[in-house]
Amino acid sequence: MAITLEEVRHIALLARLRLTEDEEARYTDQLSAILEYAARLGEVDTSAVPPTASVLPLQAPLRPDSVRPSTPTSIILANAAASQEGMFRVPPVLEENE
C-alpha cells in the first residue's frame, strides 16, 4: 500500500510540521515501506495462535511475604518537624467552623 504525496502533506498539516520538498519525498517513500511491511505481516496465518496480551509468561518477580518487625516509632519520628503522642503533628487543615 503506497502513500501519496498529498497524504504526507495532509499528515504534516495535522501534525503541524513544516516539511521541505526533500522531506516530503523521503517520508512518502518511508511511510509507504512501513505500510507495505505491515500489510505483509497481515498475510501471516495466525489462526492457530491464541490471542495474548504478552509473549512472555506471566510471572511477577515478587519476594515471598514474610512477617518482619517494623521500624520503631522513635526512629520514624526522629526527623519530624513536630510529634505528639507517637504521631506526626501537622497544622490544622480545616477550620472548626466547617
The per-residue pLDDT for range 13-35, each reduced to its tens digit, is 999 999 999 999 999 999 999 99
pLDDT band at 98 (very low <50, low <70, confident <90, very high): low
pLDDT of residue 53: 79
C-alpha cell at 84: 505528639
CATH of the domain spanning 5-42, picked from 3.90.1070.10, 1.10.20.60, 3.30.499.10, 3.30.70.2190: 1.10.20.60
The answer to whether 21 and 9 have CB atoms below 8 angstroms apart is no
Residue 1 has pLDDT above 90, yes or no: no
pLDDT of residue 5: 95
Residue 57 has pLDDT above 90, yes or no: no
pTM value?
0.49
